Amino acid sequence: MSGECVLKDTDFLVSQTDEKGNILFANEDFCKIAGYSLEELLGKPHNIVRHRDMPKAAFKDLWDTVKSGKIWTGYVKNATKDGGFYWVFATVYPNVGCDSNGKCGYLSCRRKPSSDEISEVERLYKTMS
């Protein structure tokens, strides 16, 4: 099992999902940090990288926000394929890649959070379920 993977300041992780959260696109930085090939990620639920330490309430807030058509931002601890983890500051955009039936997906862009931001969020998340 691996430990923490700390993003570089220049890392910028991008993924796009369908309306159900299945991955349609992942950029090279996302694949590299998460430890998956693009082929391993395509069609899989985005929660393939969900870390067990993340409170369910954080993802409920994310989904409630984007399903209402609003942009969500927040801090997320994700799991890597080899059992490690990494922290990101995520911005999730709703209503991306709409098809002819009006079904839209989501675009998530993630960058490196500061160590102070991570410490603050870890304290907060320990109080949530």
| Per-residue H/E/C for 71-91 | CEEEEEEEECCCCCEEEEEEE
69 belongs to a structural domain:
yes
Domain harbouring 17, CATH code:
3.30.450.20
Q: Does the pLDDT of residue 129 top 80, yes or no?
A: no
Structure confidence at residue 30 (pLDDT): 98
Share of the chain above pLDDT 90, in %: 90
Structure confidence at residue 102 (pLDDT): 87
Local structure of residue 7 (DSSP, 8 states): P
5 belongs to a structural domain:
no
Q: Is residue 92 a contact partner of residue 71, using CB atoms and an 8 Å limit?
A: yes
117 belongs to a structural domain:
yes
User: Looking at the 3D structure of the chain, how many domains does it have?
Assistant: 1
State both tokens at 19. 């309306």
Amino acid identity of 53? D
Structure confidence at residue 99 (pLDDT): 85
75 belongs to a structural domain:
yes
pLDDT band at 1 (very low <50, low <70, confident <90, very high): low
54 belongs to a structural domain:
yes
Residue 60, C-beta contacts closer than 8 angstroms, at least 6 positions apart: none
Structure confidence at residue 114 (pLDDT): 97
Averaged pLDDT for residues 84-111: 94
Structure confidence at residue 2 (pLDDT): 78
96 belongs to a structural domain:
yes
**Residue 106 structural domain:** 13-126
Q: 62: closest CA among 112, 106, 6?
A: 106
Averaged pLDDT for residues 28-48: 98
63 belongs to a structural domain:
yes
Structure confidence at residue 123 (pLDDT): 95
Backbone angles phi, psi at 91, to 5 degrees: -125, 120
Structure confidence at residue 97 (pLDDT): 85
Lowest-confidence range among 17-21, 50-54, 95-99?
95-99
2 belongs to a structural domain:
no
Q: 7: closest CA among 128, 123, 109?
A: 109
Averaged pLDDT for residues 86-97: 95
